[in-house]
């Protein structure tokens, strides 16, 4: 069931005129994805892999849409090439809503080594980013 934060995220996307979102499944953002599926303002196209999502967003942008991708931070390694050689090279504006996995208390241990690398990878690839915490949305 979507939370108030999930509703606010989707409302913010709509307010920013995002009209195309692609995503891969994400337990932490399941409420957002549910609301995107129900939205009449945003076309939500799930994808199989995050780098495929980058391609979908590039195509949507070239077709006149304002895209966004929803993904987990642990998949950032999958998208580095598409981000640098497609999105950045062609100067495609692409907001990325990225859930943060791998913090202290993470139950899925495979996420632990990759999680903290998110901000390092984004900074190294010259991607502007900001991190919201749960306490900011209560």
Does residue 74 sit within a domain? yes
What's the average model confidence in pLDDT over 19-44?
96
* Residue 98 within a domain: yes
Its domain, for residue 50, covers 4-127
In a domain, 134, yes or no: no
The pTM (predicted TM-score) of the whole model is 0.87
What is the per-residue DSSP string for 80-106? Answer: HHHIIIIIITTT----EEEE---STT-
| 135 is a domain residue | no
Asked whether residue 133 is assigned to any structural domain, the reply reads: no
Per-residue pLDDT of 46-105, as tens digits, reads: 999 999 999 999 999 999 999 999 999 888 888 989 999 999 999 999 999 998 877 777
Q: Report the chain's terminal Cα–Cα distance, integer Å.
A: 17
Which CATH number goes with the domain that contains 75? 3.40.50.970
Q: Are 45 and 68 in contact (CB under 8 A)?
A: no
> What mean pLDDT value characterizes the chain?
89
Average pLDDT over residues 130-137: 65
Angle at 49 between CA 45 and CA 51, to 5 degrees: 95
pLDDT tens, position by position, 111-133 = 777 777 777 777 777 777 787 77
């Amino acid at each position: 069931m979507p939370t108030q934060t999930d509703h606010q995220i989707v409302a913010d996307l709509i307010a920013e005129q995002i009209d195309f979102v692609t995503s891969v499944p994400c337990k932490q953002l399941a409420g957002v994805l549910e609301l995107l599926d129900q939205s009449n303002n945003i076309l939500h196209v799930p994808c199989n892999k995050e780098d495929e999502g980058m391609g979908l967003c590039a195509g949507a942008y070239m077709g006149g849409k304002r895209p966004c991708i929803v993904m987990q931070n642990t998949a950032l390694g999958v998208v580095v090439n598409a981000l640098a050689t497609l999105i950045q090279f062609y100067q495609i504006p692409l907001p990325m809503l990225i859930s943060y996995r791998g913090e202290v208390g993470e139950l899925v241990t495979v996420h632990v080594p990759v999680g903290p690398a998110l901000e390092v990878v984004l900074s190294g690839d010259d991607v502007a980013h900001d991190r919201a915490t749960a306490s900011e949305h209560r």
